[in-house]
Amino acid sequence: MCGERQLKNPATVNRSHMDNFQELIEIINYKFKNIEILDQAMTHRSYSFEFSNGAVDNERLEFLGDSIIGLCISNEIYHRYPDYPEGKLTLIKSYLASKKFLAELANTIQLGKFIKLGTGEEKTGGRNRITLLANAFEALTGAIFIDGGYSCSCEFLNQFLQPKLDNIGDHVNFQNFKNLLQIHFQKEYGKLPHYIIQEESGPQHEKIYTIAVLFDDNILGTGSDSSKKKASQKAAENALNNLDIL
């Protein structure tokens, strides 16, 4: 049994027993059978290295958690959006599995204050660093998988995913279409498309750039905007639609 999956308000949780992570257990509403695996998940390599106390850091759990998160997300969106093509599912997964999003989830459960850091990492603001927080969230997910199994780790994750999935279109529209196009061509052909400025129009202070994305000298798509970066994204999106990937 995984227990209730409803998060408790961190502000109402008893702050006692910090050393054995009782507060974190209350926040996430998952009771570990083996508290040592949670301790490992919260041990950053800087702590393990600096104090040389034999503590195992969380990098292996982070590796495992990354895979579990990807599988849980893929399974959830595959069944939730049966009509979405692979490209659109990839965009959704890319957003939900991104370091930025996972760091947001880590902040939701105040994970930063439970991470065991070395002195140097602490002084340089590691507790608030996006990558460190995201990695710790992955490690926590990995720890729940080891302790309670796949279903428990997915239940833990899905409580965060559901609110986002209800309005996922608002987020997908801002994803990196260039990155998705690169992933597709790297996977299918082993090389990447490239971008050129096809046209510049308008006065100097209001220029409009038309960008074309090409592969083997064939134009895949075009996009126009006052920003070259945005025009490139529009070109990539246009190419993805032309290729029936989105």
Q: Just list the catalytic residues.
A: 66, 138
> 242: which residues sit within 8 A by CB, 6+ positions away?
220, 221
Residues 96-135 as b or e (16 or more Cβ within 10 Å = b): bbeeebbbbbbeebebbebbbbbeebbeeebbeebebbbb
> 49: which residues sit within 8 A by CB, 6+ positions away?
57, 118
CA atoms within 13 A on the CB side of 49: 10
The Cα–Cα gap between 225 and 235 comes to 10
Sheet strands side by side (includes 218-225): 194-201, 208-215, 218-225
Residue 216 Cα distances to 80, 189, 219, 242, angstroms: 37, 11, 8, 16
The Cα–Cα gap between 98 and 135 comes to 11
